[in-house]
Amino acid sequence: MHATERQDGTGQLPEGLEQAIRATAEEIAALVRGAPDTAAPVPGSQWTVGEAAAHLALANELMADLAAGRARPYGDGTAQSLAAANAESLTVFAERRAEPLAAMIAEQASVFLDAMADPAGESAVPATPLGTMDRPVLASYLLTHMLGHGYDLARALGRPHMVDRPRVGLCMPFMLSVMPRVTNTAATAGLTARYTIRLRGGEAFGVRLAAGAVEVTPGPPQGRSDCTILIDPTAFLLIALGRLNPWRAIARGQILTWGPKPWLGPRFPTLFTAP
From the number of C-beta atoms within 10 Å of its C-beta (0-12, 13-18, 19+), residue 213 rates as exposed
Average pLDDT, integer, range 249-267: 96
CATH of the domain at 16: 1.20.120.450
Same domain, 13 and 128: yes
Same domain, 199 and 112: no
Domain of residue 97 covers 3-177
Same domain, 173 and 58: yes
Position 6 pLDDT exceeds 80:
no
Specify the pLDDT at position 121: 67
Confidence of residue 12 (pLDDT cuts 50, 70, 90): confident
Same domain, 246 and 187: yes
Task: Report yes or no: 17 and 136 within 8 Å, Cβ to Cβ.
Answer: yes
**pTM (predicted TM-score):** 0.93
Enumerate residues 6+ apart whose C-beta is below 8 A from 163: 147, 150, 151, 234, 237, 238
Position 209 pLDDT exceeds 50:
yes
Confidence of residue 123 (pLDDT cuts 50, 70, 90): low
Task: Tally helices (H) and strands (E) across the chain.
Answer: 9, 7
Position 7 pLDDT exceeds 60:
no
Same domain, 170 and 188: no
Position 275 pLDDT exceeds 90:
no
CATH of the domain at 189: 3.30.1050.10
Of 204, 189, 194, nearest to 260 (Cα)? 194
Distance (Å, rounded) from C-alpha 10 to C-alpha 118? 6
Same domain, 27 and 149: yes
Question: Dihedral of CA 7/12/13/18: which sign?
Answer: negative
Same domain, 31 and 124: yes
Same domain, 58 and 190: no
The 10s digit of each residue's pLDDT in 160-207 is 999 999 999 999 999 999 999 999 999 999 999 999 999 999 889 999
The 10s digit of each residue's pLDDT in 179-188 is 999 999 999 9
Same domain, 221 and 267: yes
Same domain, 17 and 152: yes
The 10s digit of each residue's pLDDT in 50-77 is 999 999 999 999 999 999 999 998 988 7
Read off the amino acid at residue 215. Answer: E
DSSP character at residue 196? E
Confidence of residue 29 (pLDDT cuts 50, 70, 90): very high
Task: Report yes or no: 237 and 171 within 8 Å, Cβ to Cβ.
Answer: yes
Total of domains in the chain: 2
Query: At 103, which helix (H) or strand (E)?
Result: helix 98-116
Specify the pLDDT at position 78: 83
- Residue that is last in its domain, among 108, 142, 177: 177
